[in-house]
Amino acid sequence: MNFSLTPSLEQFVRDRAESGDYNNASEVVRDAIRLLRRVEEQRALKMERLRAAIRDGDEALARGEFTDLNSDQELDEFFAEL
């Protein structure tokens, strides 16, 4: 697999490899890809949880389980009671 990096990214990879934390540029790139994978997995999990919360909220609304607040004062009073 071949890929191109911008000059600034290429320099960053070189700097990280030369820092002693990595043996070579390939290790830097592999670590970066692992980190990207982890970020993407966390993002997917957050989206899954958000969709579930929305679904739960929609179901609660359909069952009539909600509080209707019509003013800032009602909202403040609602949160003051929590």
CA distance 47 to 43: 6
Residue 49 belongs to some domain of the structure: yes
* Tens-place pLDDT, residues 35-52: 999 999 999 999 999 999
User: At 1, is the pLDDT very low, low, confident or very high (cuts 50, 70, 90)?
Assistant: confident
Is the entire prediction scored with pTM above 0.85? Answer: no
Q: Which structure tokens are listed for 34? A: 């692992």
CA distance 28 to 24: 7
Number of structural domains in the chain: 1
CB 25 within 8 A of CB 36: no
Residue 2 belongs to some domain of the structure: no
Q: What is the dihedral of CA 10, 13, 15, 17, to 10 degrees?
A: -140
Residue 64 belongs to some domain of the structure: yes
Task: Residue 33: give the domain boundaries.
Answer: 7-81
The 8 Å CB, 24+ separation contacts for 2-9 are none
